[in-house]
Amino acid sequence: MADVLSSIMNSNGYASVAFNNVDFNFGSLLGDAVTILHELGHVYQYLFGQNSTAIKDDQGNADLTKANSALVKSKCFPGVVF
C-alpha cells in the first residue's frame, strides 16, 4: 500500500491526517482500515512522541511505509489475507 495519505503536525499543536479520494475508499474496506490505523500511528507519533507508537516516521521512505502497513496488518488483523 502506498502511503498516499499524509499525517502532519501543525504549528498549532494539532496533528492532521489528509485523505485523498484516489486510493482511499476505493473498494477495500480492510485496506482502508489498515490505512487509517497506519496514519493514526503517525498522529500518536506527532502528539505523544515516537515511543508512543510502533509506527515509525516513514516520510520519504517507501520501504518503511510498507513495513508500517505490514505491522498494522499483522498486529490488528492477524491471519487475514490481504
Binding interface with Zn ion (CB under 5 A): 3, 58, 65
The closest alpha carbon to 36, from 4, 82, 78, belongs to 4
Which of residues 28 and 70 has its CB atom nearest to Zn ion in the complex? 70
**Residue closest to Zn ion, measured at CB:** 58
What 23-30 contacts at long range (C-beta under 8 Å, 24+ apart), as own/partner pairs, is 30/77, 30/80, 30/82
**28 or 64: whose CB is closer to Zn ion?**
64
Q: How far is the CB of 11 from Zn ion (least distance, A)?
A: 21
- 39 neighbors 5 (Cβ within 8 angstroms): yes
Q: Which is nearer to Zn ion, 3 or 46 (CB)?
A: 3
Residue 80 C-beta: closest distance to Zn ion, Å: 20
